[in-house]
Amino acid sequence: MIKIPFLDLKRVNTPYMDSLMDAATDVVESGWYIRGSHCEKFEKEFAAYCGFAHGIGVGNGLDALTLMLRASIELGRLKPGDEILVPSNTYIATVLAVNAAGLVPVLVEPDERTFNIDPAKLAAACSPKTRGVLAVHLYGRLADMSAIWKFAAERNLLVFEDAAQSHGAQSGSAKHAGKKSVAVAYSFYPTKNLGALGDAGMVVTDDAELARVVRMLGNYGSEQKYVNRYRGVNSRLDEIQAAFLLAKLPHLDAWNARRREIAARYVNEVTNPLVRLPEIPADPQEHVWHVFTIRLPDRVTRDKMQGYLESRGIGTLIFYPIPPHRQEAYEDRFDGKFPIAENLAETVLSIPVSQVLDDEEVTEIIGALNEFSV
Ligand SMILES: *Cc1c(COP(=O)(O)O)cnc(C)c1O
């Protein structure tokens, strides 16, 4: 019996039952259900929270990624077939979005220490067709954006960010790293640090022109009813999800602070030499611990640890068991080998780190990790 689930979404949301019900009532009574005042307010508030001028609500994170890339094509800044560097170690959505936009994903191996794309490996992945980098802040830790921006500036590449796991991560005084990036894509899938009660996503950017095109693309390529400038899609942020997200946003910083507290306890109190712990960045604000991921020496030990924790009532997940280039969807599509991504898929294990865990539960998880042996 699992006593401590990996993530208990009911426990995440029920403390806010009253404000969620008020938000829902508000939307029902408004009589306006898609791209209305709640969406507009949430776009403004979330973009401002991230330090950007514009936010465009869309249907989900995959669409946010795809539409910011497609908008760059419509504006003539990228063209179909251009190559975009993406991490080999990411959720498949990052790679799918590049293809969906008509661009070509080129995989770059991660730095094992941070799990994020390794800026030192960008140059070797470039070809004359390379036009951009799509960085991912995996597990909630900001990628090394200053190195990526520097590299991109030297080669005249556009930089995009997949921030689906890093709501509220902060670099220096700015909430989020993205200032020199073209745009940043967010997902509000229910499990994310800021999650809706359904699907939702957003593109944030300082570029008014790009914002306008993303907004049109998500609305059938139209900004004037029945006048279609682009071959768009239907990807809009529902009023009810925007209202829920407005109710939850004020709590995000406190939730992230609690995640950092739990992560620090794991890092300080887990002493089992079989467990390789993740690193807390020099500036702890750069990490929001979307998941807390340990590594074991090999697949057999990892699988044993997962079974052992399950027997102790602790839920875990593997992010991700099969890297994108190994998926059937991408069979034979990628040249070269990605041994780091493959080794990570065999050795990583994520343990509970959600803000809802209490101190006793964290103590129990630490105890179980320390008592594991092969
Ligand atoms: C969740 C996630 C996405 C996709 O978001 P959806 O809202 O599920 O479409 C994209 N990239 C990363 C890194 C994610 O974790």
- First-residue to last-residue Cα distance in the chain: 22
Q: Which parts of the chain are beta strand (E)?
A: 54-58, 83-87, 104-108, 130-136, 158-162, 170-171, 174-175, 183-187, 201-205, 222-224, 227-228, 292-295, 348-351
pLDDT for res 177: 59
Co-location of 33 and 109 in the same domain: yes
**Ligand 1 atom nearest 188 alpha carbon:** 7
Nearest in space to 293 (alpha carbons), one of 306, 277, 308: 277
Co-location of 182 and 286 in the same domain: no
Residue 252 has pLDDT above 90, yes or no: yes
**Ligand 1 atom nearest 165 alpha carbon:** 15
Q: Is position 4 within any domain?
A: no
Looking at the structure of the chain, the number of domains it has is: 2
Which of 189, 233, 241, 245 maximizes ligand 1 atoms within 8 Å of its Cβ, making it the mutation to test the pocket? Answer: 189
Residue 236 has pLDDT above 70, yes or no: yes
Co-location of 281 and 203 in the same domain: no
Q: What is the CATH number of the domain that holds 240?
A: 3.40.640.10
CA of residue 332 to ligand 1 center, whole Å: 24
Q: How far apart are CA 143 and CA 136, in angstroms?
A: 7
CA of residue 89 to ligand 1 center, whole Å: 13
Encode pLDDT of 106-117 as tens digits. Answer: 999 999 999 999
**Ligand 1 atom nearest 192 alpha carbon:** 1
Q: Is position 332 within any domain?
A: yes
pLDDT for res 336: 79
pLDDT for res 333: 87
* Mean pLDDT score of the chain: 96
Q: How far apart are CA 324 and CA 158, in angstroms?
A: 23
Distances, alpha carbon 351 to alpha carbons 204, 289, 292, 295, 354, in Å: 30, 11, 6, 11, 9
Q: 123-137, 267-281, 332-346: which has the minimum mean pLDDT?
A: 332-346
Q: Which two tokens stand for residue 83?
A: 């190559």
Residue identifier of the C-alpha nearest atom 2 of ligand 1: 164
Composition of the chain by helix, strand, coil, percent to 5: 45, 20, 35
Which of 67, 69, 91 maximizes ligand 1 atoms within 8 Å of its Cβ, making it the mutation to test the pocket? Answer: 91
Residue identifier of the C-alpha nearest atom 5 of ligand 1: 61
pTM above 0.95, yes or no: yes
pLDDT for res 178: 67
Co-location of 83 and 224 in the same domain: yes
Co-location of 222 and 121 in the same domain: yes
Co-location of 185 and 275 in the same domain: no
pLDDT for res 250: 98
Q: Examine the fold and report which residue of 205, 232, 249 is the final residue of a domain before the chain moves on.
A: 249
Residue 364 has pLDDT above 80, yes or no: yes
**Ligand 1 atom nearest 93 alpha carbon:** 10
CA of residue 195 to ligand 1 center, whole Å: 11
The arithmetic mean of pLDDT across residues 254-269, rounded, is: 98
Residue 327 domain boundaries: 252-371
The arithmetic mean of pLDDT across residues 179-199, rounded, is: 96
Q: Is position 1 within any domain?
A: no
**Ligand 1 atom nearest 65 alpha carbon:** 10
CA of residue 276 to ligand 1 center, whole Å: 26
The arithmetic mean of pLDDT across residues 71-96, rounded, is: 98
Torsions phi, psi for 96 (to 5 deg): -60, -40
pLDDT for res 176: 65
Q: Examine the fold and report which residue of 204, 222, 249 is the final residue of a domain before the chain moves on.
A: 249
pLDDT for res 85: 98
CA of residue 159 to ligand 1 center, whole Å: 18
Residue identifier of the C-alpha nearest atom 4 of ligand 1: 61
179: confidence class by pLDDT, cuts 50, 70, 90: confident
Q: How far apart are CA 247 and CA 18, in angstroms?
A: 10
Q: Which residues line ligand 1 (CB under 6 A)?
A: 60-62, 90-91, 93-94, 136, 162, 164-165, 187, 189, 199, 201
CA of residue 359 to ligand 1 center, whole Å: 29
Co-location of 170 and 110 in the same domain: yes
Q: What is the CATH number of the domain that holds 339?
A: 3.90.1150.10
Write the DSSP string, 231-282.
---B---BHHHHHHHHHHGGGHHHHHHHHHHHHHHHHHH---TTPBPPPPPS
Nearest in space to 235 (alpha carbons), one of 64, 90, 116, 356: 64
Q: Is position 3 within any domain?
A: no
Co-location of 28 and 78 in the same domain: yes
Co-location of 31 and 169 in the same domain: yes
